[in-house]
């Protein structure tokens, strides 16, 4: 397991960000940049993730996210994102 606690099946995953004040068809799409473990838990549970949306990079609790199913060819990115990555993964 990588030292940042990242589960490779979740890293770079596509997801939808739930917004309390918006209807579901207006929720933003995002990509997982980094997972964050609960520092007070020895079970290594993920509590929050850093995500990239079209509006920027945010840290959100996993309860506010809906993970989208991934196809086989999406499961592993060809290369890790660069610091100047724009988030265009098409």
14-39 pLDDT, tens digit per residue, is: 899 999 999 999 999 999 999 888 87
Q: Residue 74, CB half-sphere, CA atoms under 13 Å: how many?
A: 14
Residue-level pLDDT at 78: 54
Per-residue pLDDT at 37:
86
User: What ranges do the domains of the chain cover?
Assistant: 14-70
CA distance 28 to 54: 8
The DSSP line for the chain is --TT---TTTTT-EEEE--TTS-GGGPEEEEEEEEEE-TT-TT--EEEEEEEETTEEEEEEGGGEEEPP--GGGSS-SSPPPTT------
Q: Which pLDDT tens digit goes with each residue over 47-63?
A: 889 999 999 999 999 99
């Amino acid at each position: 397991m990588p030292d940042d606690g990242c589960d490779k099946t979740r890293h770079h995953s596509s997801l939808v960000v739930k917004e309390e004040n918006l209807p579901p068809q207006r929720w933003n799409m995002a990509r997982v940049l980094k997972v964050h473990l609960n520092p007070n838990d020895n079970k290594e549970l993920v509590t929050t993730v850093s995500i990239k949306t079209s509006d920027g990079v945010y840290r959100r609790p996993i309860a506010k996210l809906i993970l989208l199913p991934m196809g086989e060819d999406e499961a592993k990115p060809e290369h890790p994102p660069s610091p100047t990555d724009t988030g265009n993964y098409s």
